[in-house]
Amino acid sequence: MVPIGREMRRFARCYLFVAALTIVAAACKGEEEIDWSHDAALTRGAVVEANGRVLNPGPLSEFVRSVSVRQPAIVKVTMFPAEGEPSIMTADYDGQTVHLIRDQHLEGGGARMTTTCGGVEKRSGETVDTYMVTGCGGGEMELAVVPNLALASRVETADYGAELRLEPVLTGRKKNGTIDAYRIEMLNLGDRILECGSDYIIELQAYGTWVPISYKDNIGFPANLAHLQKGESNKTSFSFDMLQSSPEPGRYRVVKEATIGKTKVKLAAEFDIPAK
């Protein structure tokens, strides 16, 4: 056996130390290279929860279906809170057990919590669908809450009625004769007074839900309130030039709220922007 000299042993120790540092650095680099952005999460096929909206909710229903037939499946929900760091909730079903894993992204590292559960349920309500992981040590945990964003353009009850209408407008700014603006009309159909402001929201149908579109920074709405009797309407207008960027082809809607007595009413009128 050939003896190892002091310098050789020192070199070996240094080599192992450097190798260990390299492994740690590589692991840290791997964590840093994870793109935690909103768009990257959608590209990975994850369900994304941000600003009170859930984008790409389809995998949640697919996961519930897979668990119901005992087919292994995984769903990831990436959550972007208004304050703090994002986190990922992973529900991994192996055919018998749901392993619920929560990864919290933190500067300089992260934290992981794991819970073993028995199943998953979708509980549908009037305004939201709640996905619960059940049988977690005698309790249950919330996986995701998906708002029901379906809205009608007209509502009529025994107490009140209202309708939101859109009328396309050619402003002349588009030389090819395409529609580039809409006239928005809120109509009171009932006997009770309807109150509404001048504001409204434009949303795009995308990722299995409706996504709000941003206005330009200099766009605002007058702080006036219309009081409408039966048959009266309040009119305002919307132009594509008000948006922060040119709208892409797709399905859009105008969302507007009104108050009738103590009842809040939210209506939506849809329109399409065709491909050029």
Residue-wise burial string across 144-172, b where 16 or more C-beta atoms lie within 10 A, e elsewhere: bbbeebebebebeeeebbbbbbbeeeeee
Separation CA 111–CA 134 (nearest Å) = 23
Contact predicate 99/75, CB 8 Å: no
Judged against a pLDDT cut of 60, whether residue 162 lies above it is answered with: yes
Query: 212, 161, 194, 195: which is closest to 55 by C-alpha?
Result: 212
Proportion of the chain above pLDDT 70, given as a percent: 82
Angle ∠(218,165,155) on CA atoms, nearest 5 = 115
Kind plus residue range of the DSSP H or E element containing 110: strand 109-117
The structure's pTM equals 0.69
Separation CA 185–CA 234 (nearest Å) = 6
Judged against a pLDDT cut of 70, whether residue 27 lies above it is answered with: no
Separation CA 258–CA 129 (nearest Å) = 25
Q: Which amino acid is at 178?
A: T
Classify domain 154-273 at the CATH topology level: Immunoglobulin-like (2.60.40)
- What pLDDT is stored for residue 171 in this prediction? 63
Which DSSP letter does residue 159 get? Answer: S
What phi and psi, each to the nearest 5 degrees, are found at residue 61?
Answer: -65, -40
Contact predicate 102/81, CB 8 Å: no
**How does residue 36 score in pLDDT terms, banded at 50, 70 and 90?**
low
Q: For residue range 226-264, list pLDDT tens digits in order.
A: 999 999 999 999 998 899 888 899 999 999 999 999 999
Q: For residue range 59-115, list pLDDT tens digits in order.
A: 999 999 999 999 999 999 988 887 777 888 899 999 999 999 988 765 555 678 889
Contact predicate 253/210, CB 8 Å: yes
Q: Is 24 exposed, middle or buried (0-12, 13-18, 19+ CB in 10 A)?
A: exposed
Q: Which amino acid is at 156?
A: E
Structural domain spans, the chain = 38-147, 154-273
Judged against a pLDDT cut of 80, whether residue 4 lies above it is answered with: no
Contact predicate 185/234, CB 8 Å: yes
Judged against a pLDDT cut of 70, whether residue 23 lies above it is answered with: no
